[in-house]
Amino acid sequence: MRPQRSFPIVSILGLSLLTSACQTLDALSSAEIDTLVAEAMRQFSVPGVAVGVIKDGAVVHAQGYGILEIGLPEVVDENTLFRIASNSKAMTTAALAMLVDEGKLNWDDKVVQHIPDFQLYDDWVTQEFTVTDLLTHRSGLGLGAGDLMLWPVPNHFTRQDIIRGLRYFKPASSFRTQYDYDNQLYIVAGELIPAVSGMQWEEFVDEHILGAMGARRCFAGNIPLSEMHNVAAPHAIVEGSLQVIERNRTRAAWSVSAAAGGVRCSLHDMLTWVDVQLDRGTLADGSQLFSAAQSRIMWSPMTIRKTSDADFERDRTHFKAYGLGWRLADVHGYKEVSHTGTFTGSMSYVTLIPELDLGVVVLINASAGNARKAIMYSIVRAYLGVTDVNWVGYFSPDKEQADGAQTEYDEIDYRYGHVDAPLSRYVGRYRDPWFGDVIIRLEGDQLWFDSVKSPRMTGPLWPYREHTFIARWSDRTLQGDAFVTFDGGAADTADAISMRAASDDVDFSFNYGDLEFRRVGDE
């Protein structure tokens, strides 16, 4: 018997969005979910979706919608492979929890005990940094620090490059004082697995987590070629039209970023994973993947997150926090355990309400953050008694709720700039200590930017003003154009480059502000 998790709901009056307090549970029927998803797909231009609901240990809804790829007839079903992106983080923390259960690791271990090469900018922080610190986004690193070593793919960075590169990032805040989301430290956390167990991260997760669960369409490491079918293609709106993001298609090979966001999984197997989570690590055969004690730790607040007026208006949320691989919040009197996953062209969303023994999974093959929100909120809030809000309308992009919405990238007008200095002044090879070399070259009368280790970051430099240009990447799906400013040096050469995003719409993973290039030679 699964433990009873239901508790009385506390009445709360005066919600601006609601006419009364949450008093009854009113789950959406499968037919209502079908209608909801169809409307969200239409409103947000989403080709394909998979939605699952598990309640009291039973799957009550598991359905695919739409197509795998625009222009092709194959449809999404519960076995379609999606990138789950940052929902992979909970698998990394579960793997570590299993090693804690086995006595091979402790959450309070110093990282340098297991990975001697680990080093941050501040020596004291390096020595004090624990396993828990790797997982809780409180390192002092700025938002997205180092993500240019992970994306865009493909690139030539290794996990060892990532560990070595961390020492060059100046802190944006004091250690353990605030929440700033990062991916790099989850890569380091994944490298604890081979340091402690002798198995690579992907091997451990595939064998000891996914294999133990009986997952047949969920992969941390290499996907067998026989399973490379029924795979959702990634999509995004690029220059006004919905396109496949070719560079982000699911590949058979494992990825460097796997421990932070590299798992590929079907809805069917994600529901199995959610069921294990809700049952505190218990597998279908009654054995324990990880202990209930570790489950409680992973779902315990570690880093406080800010709440907004909108959080309270919408969800009666007083507190938000980050646990170990999970976001935590109080929502209409219940503890909500959730996480999103975002990879250009693919998105995921997992929400657990442990007291209701409820889990919901939404997988989307498009960059449509508000679509996943609308679907998730509609289903979960119905179980919480919130039934009189049209969440598709609430998150509609035409209502200035553009947080993660699939909208057209706002590019700066680069056509009318002017730079007085001769272009030959800027030509050369420049080096950043963690990102490596870029080559600035002349192609005819056009200045050009080429990254050596991240070859997708190549494109013309358009004059803007003084010694600043705009890098307009040739791959327009990057949606990450940048200002490139050349500094100092003799009259006939520049000796440094700094960069910043050219638009507020550029994703935080383009951490241009952390780059400090110095000239190291001619082209």
Q: What's the CATH number of domain 30-399, 3.40.710.10, 3.30.565.10, 3.40.366.10, 3.40.605.10?
A: 3.40.710.10
So what's the pLDDT on residue 12? 27
| Range with lowest mean pLDDT among 146-150, 236-240, 407-411, 428-432 | 407-411
Convert the pLDDT of each residue in 329-344 to its tens digit. Answer: 999 999 999 999 999 9
Q: Answer whether 0.75 is exceeded by the pTM.
A: yes
Mean pLDDT, residues 217-228 = 98
Mean pLDDT taken over the chain: 92
Query: Looking at residues 113-138, what average pLDDT do you find?
Result: 98
Question: 17-21, 140-144, 197-201, 384-388: which has the minimum mean pLDDT?
Answer: 17-21
pLDDT digits (tens, 9 = 90+) for 79-119: 999 999 999 999 999 999 999 999 999 999 999 999 999 99
Report angle CA 349, 188, 499 to the nearest 5 degrees.
Answer: 80
Q: Where along the chain do its domains lie?
A: 30-399, 423-521
User: DSSP characters for 416-430?
Assistant: T-B--S-GGGG-EEE
User: In this predicted structure, what is the pLDDT of residue 87?
Assistant: 98
Q: What pLDDT, in 10s, does the model give residues 447-486?
A: 999 999 999 999 999 999 889 999 999 999 999 999 999 9
H or E element, residue 305: strand 303-305
CA atoms of 60 and 358, how far apart (whole Å)? 10
Q: 479 is written with which tokens?
A: 């949606």
pLDDT at 207: 98
Quote the CA–CA distance of 268 and 285 in Å, as a whole number: 18
Residue 71 makes CB contacts below 8 A (sequence gap 6+) with: none
* Beta carbons within 10 angstroms of residue 240's beta carbon: 8
Question: What percentage of residues in the chain have a pLDDT greater than 70?
Answer: 91
Q: Do you know the residue count of the chain?
A: 523
Spatial distance between the Cα atoms of 367 and 66, rounded to a whole number of angstroms: 15
Q: Nearest 5 degrees, angle CA 410-CA 415-CA 417?
A: 110
Q: By three-state DSSP, how is residue 173 classified?
A: coil
- Tokens found for residue 266: 């079907």
pLDDT-above-90 percentage for the chain: 87
The mean per-residue pLDDT over the stretch 128-142 comes to 98
- The 3-state DSSP class for residue 58 equals strand
CB atoms within 10 A of CB 42: 11
**What pLDDT is stored for residue 404 in this prediction?**
39
User: In this structure, what token pair is assigned to residue 494?
Assistant: 């520049």
> For the segment 1-28, what is each residue's pLDDT rounded down to a tens digit?
465 443 333 322 223 333 333 333 579 9
Give the class (CATH, top level) of 423-521. mainly beta
Nearest in space to 136 (alpha carbons), one of 190, 182, 86, 85: 182
* Chain centroid, CA 288 distance in Å: 28
DSSP per-residue string spanning 279-336: TTTB-TTS-BSS-HHHHHHHTS--EEE---HHHHHHH----EEE-SS-EEEEETTEEE
pLDDT at position 65: 98
Confidence of residue 416 (pLDDT cuts 50, 70, 90): low
